Amino acid sequence: MKKILSTAIILQLLCLSQAISQVEQDAPELDKVIAIPYRPKIAEFSYNTLYDYNTYCASDEFGNSSSEVERDSQLKLRLGIPLVINDSKLFGVQFKYDRHNFVLDFEDSPERYELYDHIEKKSFTSLGARFLFQKSLDDTREITLIAGGEVKSDEVVVNKNTTKYYSHIAYNKQLNNRTKIGAGLMISYTLGRPQIYPLVSYERRLSKKWTLDLNIPKRAAIRYRANEKFYITALTEVKGWRYAVNNAELSTESNGLTLRKSDINIGLSIEHEVHDWLWLGLDMGLSKNLRYFLAEPGDGRKDAVIDLTSDDTPYLKFGLFIVPPKKMYLK
């Protein structure tokens, strides 16, 4: 796995080096406007899988154990509906449904471990909606507001320990035809834990073919535009999830527990146009675990009921998504 990780990092560095070296060659072409830019996703259907990996549990209360996860899969559905569209304003709503399932192999760990039994028997669900409002202040500046809520649990029950509420405000400015910058703030209350952190974005066209895209603290990518119908992106991004766990053996309290996992993914994304507004996506790479634990709602890893770790593992994601039609950019 370490060899795969090193290869992925080297590949991204080579892509970045090649892109920067092309800047001098293609700089004159940057003044040519690309009529059809990289278009945002309005709706999406995707299936993501982490392949076989080992996971390990350590707990003073429940003891230690390990197991092989044969399948860690997520089905994701997104449906966006624009409600208002004009030259200076965009207002819309997006609905979300995620289904997360685990299949474990107990052959090498015959002893019973309640957490492993629970996550294999249960399906974890994220169900919610969010609103987006975007307004252009002038030709170079815009402001974006996002607010939403969702249930994230092994049971569809609404309370403070199973729900996430969040709001996000961002200000973006187009510095020139090559560079766009932005700053914002994310505020959320997720399964009993409040969060607030800054957001910084930076997008720069390095050449006619290459674009550097940074969204700190979650994502860094360099995108190659083969043509208007085909993109290849080398990326590093932080991915994660949290779910409320309702299990009387793991917690006698009525407020349940929170299972949380964060990974860093290093890989490639390939996107190809099937039809004007319909695209096909394929992502692949290596997932490296950052943190993984079961805790009381609102508690962090240092107070975990069970501390987990998992091995590095390959990931594969297949998806279909809908983007705005080209005619919106050819007016």
61 CB contacts (<8 Å, ≥6 apart)? 305, 306
How large is the average pLDDT for residues 31-56?
A: 82
* pLDDT score at 36: 66
pLDDT band for position 2 (cuts 50, 70, 90): very low
Comparing 16-30, 68-82, 84-98, 289-303, the range with the smallest average pLDDT is 16-30
How far apart, in whole angstroms, are the C-alpha atoms of residue 131 and residue 165?
Answer: 12
Mean pLDDT score of the chain, rounded to an integer? Answer: 89
* pLDDT score at 9: 47
pLDDT of residue 328 exceeding 90:
no
How far apart, in whole angstroms, are the C-alpha atoms of residue 275 and residue 98?
Answer: 25
* pLDDT score at 18: 54
**SS3 category, 323:** coil
Report the amino acid identity of residue 225. R
CB-based contact 192:178 (threshold 8 Å): no
Report the amino acid identity of residue 60. D
Comparing 38-42, 68-72, 179-183, 321-325, the range with the smallest average pLDDT is 38-42
* pLDDT score at 326: 79
How large is the average pLDDT for residues 305-311?
A: 96
Angstrom distances, CA of residue 92 to CA of 82, 85, 240, 266: 4, 9, 25, 31
pLDDT of residue 197 exceeding 50:
yes
Where would I find the beta strands (DSSP E) of the chain?
43-50, 53-58, 65-85, 89-105, 124-136, 141-153, 163-174, 179-190, 193-205, 210-216, 219-227, 230-245, 257-275, 278-295, 306-310, 313-322
The secondary structure element, H or E, covering residue 302 is none
Percent of the chain beyond pLDDT 90? 75
Closest listed residue to residue 319, CA positions, set 275, 267, 270, 263:
270
**SS3 category, 118:** helix
How far apart, in whole angstroms, are the C-alpha atoms of residue 195 and residue 188?
Answer: 5
CB-based contact 121:149 (threshold 8 Å): no
How far apart, in whole angstroms, are the C-alpha atoms of residue 162 and residue 242?
Answer: 9
The secondary structure element, H or E, covering residue 115 is helix 114-121
Q: Which residue has the higher pLDDT, 16 or 220?
A: 220
* pLDDT score at 266: 98
The residue assigned the tokens 């709706």 is 43
pLDDT of residue 6 exceeding 50:
no
Q: Which residue has the higher pLDDT, 37 or 29?
A: 37
* pLDDT score at 35: 53
pLDDT one-digit tens code per residue, 137-160: 999 999 999 999 999 999 989 999
CB-based contact 155:124 (threshold 8 Å): no
127 DSSP β-pair partners: 97, 151
